Amino acid sequence: MTNRGDVRPPSGNEDEKTTLVTFLDYLREAIVAKVAGVPDAAGRAAGVPSGTSLLWLLKHLIAVEHNWFAWAYRGEEPRVDDDALPADADTADTLIAEYRETVRRCNEIIAECPDLDRPGARSLRETDSCPPSMRWLLVHMIEKTARHAGHADILREQIDGSTGR
């Protein structure tokens, strides 16, 4: 994950794979920015009736990244529970570090893929008859991370009034 100091979206003048990964990294950084500096008790507190919290969102995205890139695409074990609540030992700092490490590993898997049309080892979705391509996976992760970045925006604003990236 590139640590970008600015808040502009990535350039549109790259090849497809670079563009997709750059947008995904941009959104990943948006998630980190929303969790960074939040007091752990506030980050753990549900901000909406569904129980969603900032720390849960980050833990969820760690599992989702692992499950799609490492478990489904590369075929590694094990599959991780993507609905697990943060453990007592989980803090904003520890989960940010874990997220960054997961992203680093996932970006290695992406970099090793020479063809975006290449299907993975298996599908994470039980209804899919064939594993999705790396292209599909990147677009799906952009969509999922963007949706959760929006949730994180709202949750962080509820905590301390912070708005923007």
Q: What pLDDT is recorded for position 129?
A: 76
18-160 maps to CATH 1.20.120.450: yes
Q: What pLDDT is recorded for position 12?
A: 67
Per residue in 66-124, pLDDT tens?
999 999 999 999 999 999 999 999 999 999 999 999 999 999 999 999 999 999 999 98
Domain ranges of the chain: 18-160
Q: What pLDDT is recorded for position 155?
A: 97
Tokens of 113: 């893929």
Tokens of 60: 């969820």
Per residue in 20-74, pLDDT tens?
999 999 999 999 999 999 999 999 999 999 999 999 999 999 999 999 999 999 9
Q: What pLDDT is recorded for position 127?
A: 77
- Count each helix (H run) and each strand (E run) in the chain, helices first: 5, 0
pLDDT reading at 2 higher than 50: no
> Do 71 and 77 meet the contact criterion of CB atoms below 8 Å apart?
yes
Tokens of 101: 């490490």
